[in-house]
Structure 1
């Protein structure tokens, strides 16, 4: 994993078409790692196809009311997704997959392929971060505010070496916002609102607000990083 600076080679030949993995409670951010346990047959096939191809999967958040149509290819989803690359995978004896998805970039769904595949495939457009409009001093001050707030929230938590290396890196403001947001115990809709914000200055204010909420309420994040495997 290359912290906070996706390797452009990973998306150099990206066609815009990517399989969709809609879940009701998982929001992936660029530069974050999401462990997933894949057990539904359609998503086992999706992972197998991705591993045989470019290794890319887009995580999408299901909208409220998804329950009745979850088994179909028309369950309502948010249009902003995070495209991830399968960083590691393990095929279990019973056919399930354990994978770790590394977030690469935001993207917007333009439409979906009406293919015969068991899973959904979207045509997407990449969404790069917008310039902050902040001066260098303002940007550095915002970064310090984020790091100080996160240190307060995360005091006593157990993080692996990868996470510490990432925070110690020379982070752009947008990347710092993404990793902190991913690490906070946010409701999925709140996390999604941060994912949808491509204006880095505005995103940093959203993350600062959530840090203050966590500090004020005394609610921290889970004590283990990376998080345990999410079930599809």
Structure 2
């Protein structure tokens, strides 16, 4: 989803941002995340963001927190996204799209009066996120595509290979990472990868481990 705003410098991003804690959710720079917003606190967050800078931080609850905990601890790194599409459903919900801008580190949680949570965010160490395609020439595309093909074959899935072949490395790596079926810890590792090459390597490694486990389970079931 195209954005009407391009951020060129980290200091163009707000220092305090609302956050949407969501387990196993992964937003990456220039990736697109559709959200169906229906809880009152997050409806308020979307409405306030529309009136303001349109930035919302996606972040995971700490994996050690209980899933039913109302205010879980947060992991330390999330990704800020800009609201680039907003739709009203007629029944009180919003269907929105967040387009990733840059990762951030939580400095502290702000004691806010809003029903949703807010954090003081530091973007400095992730300044390279603002540069489209940064480091994509270092990605081992052949290894990534081979692992993707193995995963699709093992799970009897199909893909648009013409579209995949046309996709630049950054878009391919980040889209596959965001769509991957892995758990909170793996998703956080993908988010915090030092660069695109490292993210692709982590994605290949965790996919290969998942395939190996599946083959082991299949072998055990036949014995």
TM-score (norm 1): 0.73
For residue 164 of structure 1, report the CA deviation from its aligned partner. Answer: 6.7
Alignment CA distance shift 1:178-1:118 (3 Å) = same
Q: Give the length in aligned residue pairs.
A: 203
Q: Using CA pairs under 8 Å that are at least 6 residues apart, name the structure with larger relative contact order, 1 or 2.
A: 1
- 1:184 maps onto 2:183 in alignment: no
Distance in 2 between residues matched to 1:55 and 1:68, nearest whole Å: 28
Native 8 Å contact 1:42 1:119 kept in 2: yes
Q: Who wins on radius of gyration, i.e. which is larger?
A: 2
Alignment CA distance shift 1:158-1:121 (3 Å) = farther
Alignment CA distance shift 1:96-1:158 (3 Å) = farther
| Structure with the bigger percentage of helix | 2
For structure 2, list consecutive stretches of 5 or more residues without a partner in the other structure. 130-134, 216-223
Native 8 Å contact 2:25 2:60 kept in 1: yes
For residue 93 of structure 1, report the CA deviation from its aligned partner. Answer: 2.1
Report which stretch shifted further, 181-190 or 23-32. 23-32
Q: Please give the per-residue CA displacement for 1:94-143, whole angstroms capped at 9, x wherever unaligned.
A: 2111112222221111112222111111111122459xxx9x6xx25x12
Native 8 Å contact 2:107 2:121 kept in 1: yes
Distance in 2 between residues matched to 1:18 and 1:96, nearest whole Å: 22
Alignment CA distance shift 1:192-1:94 (3 Å) = same
For structure 1, list consecutive stretches of 5 or more residues without a partner in the other structure. 220-232
> How large is the RMSD of aligned CA atoms in angstroms?
3.2
Distance in 2 between residues matched to 1:51 and 1:158, nearest whole Å: 38
For residue 193 of structure 1, report the CA deviation from its aligned partner. Answer: 1.6
Native 8 Å contact 1:31 1:179 kept in 2: no
Alignment CA distance shift 1:34-1:157 (3 Å) = farther
Q: Report the counterpart of residue 32 of structure 1 in structure 2.
A: 31
- 1:149 maps onto 2:147 in alignment: yes
Alignment CA distance shift 1:109-1:83 (3 Å) = same
